[in-house]
Amino acid sequence: MPMLPRLLPVAGSVTSSVPAPPLVQPSSQIFPCQARPRTVPSRTSPLTPPAGKDPATMTPTRPATEWLADAVLYQIYPQSFADSNGDGIGDLAGIEARLDHLAWLGVDTVWLNPCFASPFRDAGYDVADYLTVAPRYGTDDDLARLADAAGHRGIRVLLDLVAGHTSDQHPWFTASANDPSDDRYIWAEPGHLAEPAVPPAGFVASPGTRPGSYLPNFFDSQPALNFGYARTNDAEPWRLPVDADGPRTNRQALRDVMDHWLGLGLSGFRVDMAASLVKDDDPGQAQTVALWRELRAWLDATHPHAALLAEWGDPATSVPAGFHADFLLQFGPKDDGLALRSLWNNSTGTVNEAWEPHAAYFDADGKGSPRTFLDDWRAAADAVGDAGFVAVPSANHDFSRLACGPRTAEQLPAAFVFLLTWPTLPAIYYGDEIGMRYVPGLPDHEGSRLGPRYNRAGSRTPMQWDDSPNAGFSTASADRLYLPLDPDPGRPTVTAQLADDGSLLHLVRRLIALRKATPELGAKGGTEVLHADYPLVYVRGGRHLVVVNPRRNAAETGAPVDEAVVLEARGVTVADGRIRAEGFGYGVFEL
Ligand SMILES: [Ca+2]
């Protein structure tokens, strides 16, 4: 997905204190609808809002789907996780063969980046057919089988819904580029323009028989689906209202796509660029919000257990719009995603030239602060309330991994202790559980390079399973791999870390298990921050004390108790009313 969505307005945020929400009990291991009918779903799904109500103006009244409260997310980049047939590209059967790793780790919700038919100009975020798995990943049956096999291990599978644009190879676009009456995309006709030969800014010349130009969302090969404009303008006749035929058809298409895959046993969607659909929306994004509320009303009526996660970066807007959760991102309406970047981003790996240099809290030099994150999270959590969740990722396919640049393996445990004990939904990017490194210096691949220092390929390299050829990712020759492996001979692997109880992998597994067994440590437990510096100290649910010291130097502060029971710790002690943390130390204690 593109990192700099066009036409993204700025939304406000709210600040106030956070009340301790009620505790929730862990959900059952195996979820409902385990036995999934393998019937062919309807291509035309009903929109069934309650009688007399306009779904576009309804506030979602259902609480967030219950299972999500306890979820630990795991993002899989399908081309890089496991290659089952030796062609050098990961695939669905490869993921299925590795489900036991995920089950052992304890993650319960897997999000797959797009796995649909595509020319891969943007690594699959340029969909040519939403209802067909790309042959390089397998078949539609492989995807249904993966969902079944995952479900038997208590793991849900979410797909990626690229809602805002298609590939220029999608038949919808081909039809639109050859039919002047088709408004499923945004077309400026020559007759619209004072200078017919000059397309409006940002528009791209038509590749078809239709004269004029179309609006792309990001790369030129990604024409924006037409969900209408919040404001029309006689001087710009391509600004159709949101209830024009094209926008209505596209909204129905989103329901059809979701209905198709949910009917095959998938559990929900992460929605790409969810904020970008209605163009020139107001600062509160009222029309985009209305679109998603309509979709959520349909989802609640037809697939009430499904989850809808946003790539929006603004939970205060996206959750009231109907999403069950939203990710904090490396971009967004508030300070260009500074809340997430202030934790992890150390100005190596993927670097956006527009980002002001900012010391990350999890940097060894100890020049950062957790306050930016804490303030923004608090505002988001207040705005979201019980309606949904804020998700915090360890990394993602568009952003540097945790292990990036000067950040060493010994710094990673404290980051995971924070990630897995904070009251947000944790999202582990594949391979981060073993500390896979962002690999610098790779060539551009499938649109990975977005700027002079912004190459996403470094976060997309093959999963490192063992010390066999290609790290167990693939039996292909090394030159046929989707991307090169991390060339470091000391690169971490799953097998090596499995054999070492002191490894990051085992720590992550223990932390997930602790979170699952301890509702107070989850997304709904109360949180009291006692020290927002080095170390960061907080109490979850009045019962668990967490300490992380991400800097190289030791740090010390007062403790709320004279002593506490160690549940998981390295280099942190609680004694005599003091918390003493060695460099990179961490601790989870029971009070
Ligand atoms: Ca393959």
What pLDDT, on the 0 to 100 scale, is given for residue 123? 98
Residue 460 CA, ligand 1 centroid: distance in Å: 15
pLDDT value at position 38?
A: 37
State how far the alpha carbon of 326 is from the alpha carbons of 282, 311, 318, in Å: 20, 6, 7
- In 3D space, the residue among 345, 356, 355, 461 whose CA is nearest the CA of residue 404 turns out to be 345
How far, in Å, CA of 116 to CA of 160, rounded? 9
Distance 48 CA to ligand 1 centre (A): 40
Residue 194 pLDDT class (50, 70, 90 cuts): confident
For ligand 1, the distance from its centroid to the CA atom of residue 467, given in whole angstroms, is 19
Instruction: Report the percentage of the chain scoring pLDDT > 90.
Output: 86
C-alpha–C-alpha distance, residues 580 and 547, integer Å: 9
Query: What is the Cα–Cα distance from 129 to 126, expressed in whole angstroms?
Result: 9
Q: Indicate the residue type of 508.
A: V
Distance 258 CA to ligand 1 centre (A): 26
Q: CB neighbours (10 Å) of residue 367?
A: 12
Of residues 257, 247, 206, 205, the one with CA closest to residue 225: 247
Higher pLDDT residue, 55 or 570? 570
For residue 82, report the distance from its CA to the centre of ligand 1, in Å.
Answer: 8
| Residue 144 alpha carbon to ligand 1 centre in Å | 17
CA of 136 to the centre of ligand 1 (A): 6
Above 80 in pLDDT, residue 481?
Answer: yes
Q: Taking the CB of residue 291, how many other CB atoms lie within 10 A of it?
A: 27
Instruction: For residue 117, report the distance from its CA to the centre of ligand 1, in Å.
Output: 15
C-alpha distance from residue 394 to each of 314, 425, 426 (Å): 17, 11, 8
For every residue of 522-570, DSSP letters joined together read: STTS-EEEEEESSSEEEEETTTEEEEE--SSS-EEEE-SSS--EEEEEE
Mean pLDDT of the region 496-512: 98
Compute, in angstroms, the gap from residue 471 CA to the centroid of ligand 1: 15
Separation of CA 77 and ligand 1 centre (Å) = 13
In the predicted model, is pLDDT for residue 289 greater than 70? yes
Taking the centre of ligand 1 as the mean of its atom positions, its distance from the CA of residue 87, in whole angstroms, is 5
Instruction: Give distance in angstroms: CA of 453 to centre of ligand 1.
Output: 30
86 CA → ligand 1 middle, Å: 6
Distance 446 CA to ligand 1 centre (A): 17
Q: What is the CA(486)–ligand 1 centre distance, in A?
A: 19
115 Cα to the center of ligand 1, angstroms: 12
**Ligand 1 centre and the CA of 108: distance in Å?**
24
- CB 166, CB 257: distance < 8 Å: no
Ligand 1 centre from 89 Cα, in Å? 4
How many angstroms separate the alpha carbon of residue 222 from the centre of ligand 1? 25
Question: What is the Å distance from ligand 1's center to 78 Cα?
Answer: 10
Q: At what angle do helices 286-302 and 245-263 cross, to 10 degrees?
A: 40
Residue type, 467: D
| 426 confidence band (pLDDT: 50, 70, 90) | very high
Q: What is the pLDDT of residue 64?
A: 54
Which residues are CB-neighbours of 207 under 8 A, at least 6 positions away?
168, 177
* Alpha carbon of 461 to ligand 1 centroid (Å): 14
Q: Is the pLDDT of residue 406 over 70?
A: yes
Question: Measured in angstroms, how far is the CA atom of residue 68 from the centroid of ligand 1?
Answer: 31
**C-alpha dihedral, 361 to 363 to 366 to 367, nearest 10°:** -70
Residue 160 Cα, ligand 1 centroid: separation in angstroms? 20
Instruction: Return the closest-CA partner of residue 435 out of 505, 485, 490, 489.
Output: 505
Q: Which pLDDT score, from 0 to 100, does residue 55 have?
A: 40
Distance 122 CA to ligand 1 centre (A): 19
Ligand 1: centre distance to CA 84 (Å): 5
Cβ partners under 8 Å of residue 464, min gap 6: 431, 434, 436, 471, 472, 473, 485, 486, 491, 492, 493, 494
The chain-wide mean pLDDT, for the chain, equals 90
- Residue 196 is predicted with a pLDDT of 86
How far is 458 from 400, CA to CA, in rounded Å? Answer: 7
Cα(46)–Cα(23) distance, integer angstroms:
36
Q: How far is the CA of 83 from the centre of ligand 1 (A)?
A: 4
Residue 368 banded pLDDT, cuts 50, 70, 90: very high
Cis before residue 519, ω within 30 degrees of 0?
Answer: no
Give the Å distance between the CA of 91 and the centre of ligand 1.
5
Residue predicted with more confidence, 491 or 193? 491
CA of 181 to the centre of ligand 1 (A): 41
- For residue 159, give the nearest of 34, 309, 54 by alpha carbon: 309
Alpha carbon of 470 to ligand 1 centroid (Å)? 13
Both tokens of 458, joined, read 């470094």
Residue labelled with tokens 């030099």: 365
103 membership: H or E segment, kind and range: helix 99-105
Residue 434 has pLDDT above 60, yes or no: yes
Enter the pTM of the model.
0.91
What distance in angstroms lies between residue 206's CA and the mean position of ligand 1's atoms? 35
pLDDT, one tens digit per residue, over 300-336 is 999 999 999 999 999 999 999 999 999 999 999 889 9
Task: Give strand pairing partners of 393.
Answer: 427
pLDDT of residue 29: 32
199-221: average pLDDT? 97
Query: Would the pLDDT of 245 be above 90?
Result: yes
Ligand 1 centroid to 313 CA: how many Å?
Answer: 32
Protein residues with C-beta less than 5 angstroms from the ion ligand 1:
83, 85, 87, 89, 91
CB distance 207 to 177 below 8 Å: yes
Structure confidence at residue 61 as a pLDDT band (50, 70, 90): very low
CA of 147 to the centre of ligand 1 (A): 18
**Averaged pLDDT for residues 19-40:** 35
Q: How close is the Cα of 456 to the center of ligand 1, in Å?
A: 21
Ligand 1 mean position, distance from CA 549 (Å)? 41
* 208 Cα: distance to centroid of ligand 1 (angstroms): 34
The answer to whether the CB of 308 falls within 8 A of the CB of 269 is: yes
Q: What is the DSSP string of 471-510?
A: GGS-SS-GGGSSSPPP--TT---HHHHHT-TTSHHHHHHH
Q: Examine the pLDDT at 354 and tell me if it is beyond 90.
A: yes
Reported as a pLDDT band with limits 50, 70 and 90, residue 195 is confident
CA of 118 to the centre of ligand 1 (A): 16
Give the residue among 265, 268, 292 at the shortest CA–CA distance from 278.
Answer: 292
For ligand 1, the distance from its centroid to the CA atom of residue 93, given in whole angstroms, is 8
Residue 28 has pLDDT above 80, yes or no: no
In order of their start, the domains of the chain are 55-165+247-521 (3.20.20.80), 529-590 (2.60.40.1180)
Ligand 1: distance of its center to the CA of 157 in Å?
19
Gap between the Cα atoms of 312 and 330, Å rounded: 10
pLDDT above 50 (res 43): no
Supply the pLDDT for residue 192.
85
Integer Cα distance of 50 and 57 in angstroms: 12
Using CB atoms within 10 Å of the CB of residue 481, give its burial: 0 to 12 exposed, 13 to 18 middle, 19+ buried: buried
Is the confidence at residue 562, as pLDDT, over 50? yes
